[in-house]
Amino acid sequence: MSLIDHLRAPLFLSWQLTRECDLCCLHCCTESAPGKRLSGELSRPEALELVAEIIVREVPYVMLCGGEPLIVPHFWEVAESLGHAGIQLKIETNGQRLDDAVAERMSRLPLRSLQISLDGATEEVYGRQRPGGSLGKAHAACRAAVRFGIPLEVTFAPTRLNIHESDRVIDQAFELGAFRFNSGGLMRIGTAARMWDKLEPTEAQYQRFRELLERRSREFDRKQFELCFEPFSVQDGLRQSLGQPPATLLILPNGWVKIAAALPYVCGDLRRDNLATVWDVYRRFWNGDIVRNIAAGAIADASLHARANDWQSLMAT
Ligand code: SF4
């Protein structure tokens, strides 16, 4: 029996509130960009209904992400309703809209962390990978978060465009007051899959990058600043999930629930099914052969990850 069999609810929900975004990053795994809102995204009343269910099921930890969660009109209602119920939160943002007023309001939430992407050490490189974005604004958002006592994580997605600046981004993350620097191999999902030939770092670049991460992680006191880069690849993550299926549900903007980020399969629809039912279905699939075989296939052939956003119901397999 695995951990999930002992739990009456997931330990963690990763909730993509929207696919809309104010940037159009070349490496985006959710294919977000301006105008990319899904037609069937959960409305405000539907999102708040889901919030109520999350509270009743006593899910302890929820991540709000997107797209860009801060452009969702009911973002604050969702975050504050969860927060007032004592649910720990993580918020993932590109930081373009996060000023002192936003940081101050966020600081009143039970935030385990705020994660901001810094995919370059210079405006030129950052802007090339994150068209429409400003590194200056992302840095200002990091400073505002730290000023208001919010635990800050920085994430870095390595590509052929920015990997040469990774060492400087680590320094900047530390100087900005982050407690963690997250990275790993580029995921061949979504926009990144379409741009793969332009973005995928070479083997030699990856080798130097891994050596850098290992060397730099030895430099810091982990209690003060840690570098997290395991599992490094999608395959490593799936291998881990096969050993111990994660107690995590990934909720798409339309309320569908994915079995894993790198797999295209959906095991429920929270518009139609309640959270308890979806959790049961999720566990049943991870305990059965279908998902284990699909995951093994995606470990053997990384090119399959490119289909991760072609969502299809597991019930049809
Ligand atoms: S990577 Fe983040 S900021 Fe960039 S387009 Fe995707 S959701 Fe938006």
- Beta bridge partner(s), residue 116: 93, 154
Ligand 1 center to 15 CA (angstroms): 15
Residue 67 pLDDT: 96
Ligand 1 center to 273 CA (angstroms): 29
Q: Which atom of ligand 1 is found nearest the CA of 94?
A: 3
**What's the mean per-residue pLDDT of the chain?**
96
Look at ligand 1, atom 7, and give the residue with the nearest C-alpha.
67
Q: What is the mean pLDDT of residues 53-58?
A: 98
Q: Residue 43, Cβ neighbours under 10 Å: how many?
A: 11
Sheet with 248-251, edge to edge strand ranges: 226-228, 180-182, 152-155, 111-117, 88-93, 61-65, 12-16, 248-251, 256-258, 265-269, 312-313
Ligand 1 center to 190 CA (angstroms): 11
Lowest mean pLDDT among 132-146, 163-177, 266-280, 290-304: 290-304
pLDDT tens-digit series, residues 296-316:
999 998 888 888 899 988 876
Among 30, 98, 154, say which to mutate for ligand 1: greatest number of ligand atoms within 8 Å of CB.
Answer: 30
Q: What percent of the chain has pLDDT over 70?
A: 99
Residue 303 pLDDT: 85
Q: What is the CA radius of gyration of the chain?
A: 19
Q: Residue 75, Cβ neighbours under 10 Å: how many?
A: 19
Residue 279 pLDDT: 97
Q: Is the predicted pLDDT of residue 285 greater than 80, yes or no?
A: yes
Residue 316 pLDDT: 67
Q: Is 165 helix (H, G, I), strand (E, B) or coil?
A: helix
- Beta bridge partner(s), residue 61: 12, 88
Please indicate whether residue 168 or residue 307 has the higher confidence score (pLDDT). 168
Ligand 1 center to 21 CA (angstroms): 6
Q: Residue 221, Cβ neighbours under 10 Å: how many?
A: 7
Closest residue by Cα to residue 18 from 40, 45, 48:
40
pLDDT tens-digit series, residues 90-138:
999 999 999 999 999 999 999 999 999 999 999 999 999 999 999 999 9
Ligand 1 center to 276 CA (angstroms): 30
Ligand 1 center to 6 CA (angstroms): 35
Q: Which atom of ligand 1 is found nearest the CA of 157?
A: 1
Residue 317 pLDDT: 63
- The sign of the dihedral angle between the CA atoms of 17, 19, 22, 28 is positive
Q: Which tokens is 151 given?
A: 């635990």
Q: Which atom of ligand 1 is found nearest the CA of 30?
A: 6
List strand residue ranges (DSSP E) for 51-170, in order: 61-65, 88-93, 111-117, 152-155
Look at ligand 1, atom 6, and give the residue with the nearest C-alpha.
28
- The sign of the dihedral angle between the CA atoms of 22, 26, 27, 33 is positive
Q: What is the mean pLDDT of residues 250-278?
A: 95
> How distant, in Å, are the alpha carbons of 10, 40, 63, 285 from that of 269?
16, 12, 18, 15
Give this prediction's pTM: 0.96
